[in-house]
Amino acid sequence: MNPAFSVIFLTTLSGAGQGLLLALYGAEVAARLDVIDAPAHRDFYALGSLVAVGLAGLGLVASFFHLGRPGRAWRSVAMWRTSWLSREVIALPAFMAATALYGLAHYLGGRGTIAIGLAATVMCIALFVCTGMIYACIRFLQEWSSPLTVVNFFVLGTASGLTLAAAFSARTAPALARDFATIALLTTFAGLCTRSMSLVRNARLRRRSTIQTAIGIRHPQIRQKSQGAMGGSFNTREFFHGKSLAFVRHVKWAFLLTAFAIPLVLLYVAGARASAPGLSSAFAIQLLGLMAERWYFFAEAKHPQNLYYQAIS
């Protein structure tokens, strides 16, 4: 597939916002249960929710650039019964609204925040599932068609949100920064494990479609001689990234380094001292790394239609 930057920004930014909400709500529940000391000021939640809504909103804006006809985008709520994309279109604004309400409730004095936060958390998880299922439900894109896809969207989004929470709390509620950094570290490590699992899985995939099933001729030697157009087509532009194998491999190692390895080190080192610059750079690097991860996620997927576009002439 040819990675679309609109979708890369949508999924990474919104994922970070969703993770941040989970971190905020988790901290509030933990504080109520006396597991951790309550944060100093209610503005911590209000401001944090604002950041989460802002990130999700940026993702929403980015998603419009994916559409050929953004003016008709409102129509996409129609088919929620069958389409995961339609469900995501509903879940994203619902998550933003619930998160905004959660922040507002904290800002106005903190009444009913547990219930509103629970609603926001449910919407958050629903949004993660919708986003993941958009890709996982296409069964012939075998790289994506796996529960690991949904798990990765959830764990990687949560990890970046927790890293953001650590960076954010280092400035606003330093007492929480160490706890956030520790949980972010564990979640990032979990993300490294689940993402590596899908990398290993995809490296061992057996293609169900071959050129033989594509044109229905059972002969071991089939070569394409022409694809019906010499100037390219939608099929060659949408489903091929056009980069060399070496480039794709470099992106893989780059994202393993920037989305996981470097943030893990920074979270460990800066988390111990609750250093705001260290944790902020951990988040920035991890977010960039996850964008590279998302690029690779698309580039790695080989659409069966590519079998029909192996040679120009």
Binding site for another protein (CB under 8 A): 1, 66-70, 72-73, 75-79, 82-86, 89, 134, 137-141, 208-209, 211, 213-217, 219, 221-235, 238-239, 303-306, 308-309
For residues 240 and 268, which CB has a smaller minimum distance to another protein in the complex?
240
CA distance 209 to 225: 19
In angstroms, give the least distance from the CB of 242 to another protein. Answer: 14
Residue closer to another protein (CB basis): 175 or 205: 205
Residues 104, 48: Cα–Cα separation, whole Å: 11
Half-sphere exposure of 172 (CA within 13 A, CB side): 20
Helices (H), 108-173: 113-136, 147-172
Shortest Å, Cβ 136 to another protein: 12
Q: Which is nearer to another protein, 182 or 235 (CB)?
A: 235
DSSP H or E run through 29? helix 5-32
Residue of 62, 77, 84 lying closest to 130 (CA atoms) = 84
Angle at 40 between CA 106 and CA 23, to 5 degrees: 60
> Least distance from C-beta 241 to another protein, angstroms?
14
Q: Which is nearer to another protein, 234 or 246 (CB)?
A: 234
Name which of 194 and 227 has its Cβ closer to another protein: 227
CB of 66 to another protein, least distance (A): 6
Encode 124-153: b = buried (16+ Cβ within 10 Å), e = exposed.
bbbbbbbbbbbbbebeebbbbbbebbbbbb
> Least distance in Å: CB of 138 to another protein?
5
CB of 246 to another protein, least distance (A): 26
Nearer to another protein, 21 or 60 (CB): 60
For residue 232, give the amino acid letter: G
User: What phi, psi does 206 have (nearest 5°)?
Assistant: -105, 125
Shortest Cβ distance from residue 130 to another protein (Å)?
A: 11
How many CB atoms are closer than 10 A to CB 208? Answer: 10
| End-to-end C-alpha distance for the chain, whole angstroms | 22
Nearer to another protein by Cβ, of 196 and 305: the residue is 305
